[in-house]
Structure 1
């Protein structure tokens, strides 16, 4: 009788084209995955993979075996995940990718309550502005915006990403506050250079009537991180165009002031990304629901909406 670990190592290695990718997905070492596959081959008496230093490819027998067991394996995993969720507490390592500013300001503070509710879950969180590959890098979930949805990945929107113009009261002293984006051209800008393209990010803002207008402050300071842009604005260095969640606390305290308050740019939603619901481990399912419920209960989607003025 083959173990689930051997079968899963084989299927994930075939899907991801190598032992390293399967190891990241399964939370094992490449050597352990290789051993599991070798044991499966030994027990079956057939070679399932052609191995080379460059890649791993299925043999003809491997292709047939994969077709025969893939759906059955997923059924077993689904049944195990379901039993874990119903009969036992969610447990295990929860690997999550989060954008630094949003993650630290709005998700990390949820950890004490989450771990109190699910003490058997351990956290491995990475704060990074890049888009990760959930499957290849072995993440259970990611929180951010603009992810490309590959096969088997689901997104659950939790709030909008609305871009607004802000500056400190000290910077605005003795200056006229613009009521429309065109007025930003007269102010010093703290602008964003996109990491992937290397270009300065420009925004087109809109209002409730559907009018659109370019927002282009002077490119006085160029930065590549939202938290640095927020800090520069707090230091009175100019006006910056930034997502509401990144500056909400400073707006509520009065440390920053919103300019052109009826105008905003829509950068899409903030979403939680995770694997197929049919194979979702209990630890991931409760995390996704916990975050979504927190945002709903505290009406964060409304508080993040720059369209509300």
Structure 2
């Protein structure tokens, strides 16, 4: 009887054309994946891969074997995950990618209640301002906005990501209220430079009447992180355009105020991303449901909506 580890190592190695990609997906070392595949080949008495220093390619026997087991393997994995969830509760390492500012402020605080409810789950969370490859990098889920959905990945919307203009009350003292985004050009701007492109992020703002206008504050201070933008605004250095979730606590406390209450830009939804297997592992399924339920109970979709003024 062949082991599930050997079969999964073979399938993931075929998908990634190498042991290294399969190892990242499975949370193993490349050497361990290679041993599993070699054991499978010995047990079957056939060669599954042509090996070179650069990549793996399937042999004819390997292609036939992959076609025969791929769908059955997914079903077996799901059945095992479900059975484990029913008997002993969700368990295992939960690997999640989150943006630093949003993840630390709105998702990390959920951990005490989540782990109290699911004590057998271990946390491996990475906070990074980039889109990860869930499959290649072995993530169970990711939370953020603006992900391009690759094959096999689905998303569940949590809340909108609306961009608003904010500044400290002290900075606005003595300045006339703005009527529309054109007035931002007269204010000191705290703007964000993309680490990937090196360009300044530009926004088109809109209002309830669906009028649209470019928002272009002066490029007085350039940073590459939303938390730094918020901090600079709190220091009274100017006006900045940031997502509502990143400044919500400061808005609610009055430390920051909206400069244009009736205007916002839409950066798309904040979503949780995960693999589209028919039956998710129990640890992933309960995490997604836990986060979605928390967002619903605390009305984050409404509180994050810059369109509500």
Q: Answer yes or no: same fold by TM over 0.5.
A: yes
User: Does the 8 Å contact 1:94/1:284 carry over to 2?
Assistant: yes
Cα distance per residue 1:72-119 (max 9 Å; x no partner) = 111211211221222221000000000000000000000000000000
Determine the C-alpha separation between the residues in 2 that align with 1:193 and 1:34: 42
User: Does the 8 Å contact 1:179/1:259 carry over to 2?
Assistant: no
Partner of 2:175: 175
Partner of 2:249: 249
TM-score normalized with structure 2 length: 0.98
Determine the C-alpha separation between the residues in 2 that align with 1:60 and 1:273: 35
Q: How many pairs does the alignment contain? A: 309
Q: Does 1:118 align with 2:118?
A: yes
Partner of 2:199: 199
Determine the C-alpha separation between the residues in 1 that align with 2:51 and 2:295: 48
Cα distance per residue 1:137-196 (max 9 Å; x no partner) = 000100001111111101111000000000001111111121311111110000111122
Partner of 1:33: 33
Determine the C-alpha separation between the residues in 1 that align with 2:137 and 2:77: 20
User: Does the 8 Å contact 1:179/1:261 carry over to 2?
Assistant: no
Partner of 1:70, secondary structure, is helix
Cα distance per residue 1:50-82 (max 9 Å; x no partner) = 111100110111001101111111121121122
| CA-based RMSD | 0.8
Displacement of 1:279: 4.1
Moved over 4 A (4+): none
Mapping for residues 113-152 of structure 1, pairs under 5 Å: 113-152=113-152
TM-score normalized with structure 1 length: 0.98
Determine the C-alpha separation between the residues in 1 that align with 2:195 and 2:77: 38
User: Does the 8 Å contact 1:182/1:213 carry over to 2?
Assistant: yes
Partner of 2:7: 7
Displacement of 1:208: 0.8
User: Does the 8 Å contact 2:85/2:91 carry over to 1?
Assistant: no
Partner of 2:43: 43
Determine the C-alpha separation between the residues in 1 that align with 2:179 and 2:107: 33
User: Does the 8 Å contact 1:164/1:243 carry over to 2?
Assistant: yes
User: Comparing 77-86 with 294-303, which one deviates more in the overlay?
Assistant: 77-86
Determine the C-alpha separation between the residues in 1 that align with 2:97 and 2:79: 27
Gaps of 5+ in 1: none
Determine the C-alpha separation between the residues in 2 that align with 1:294 and 1:109: 11
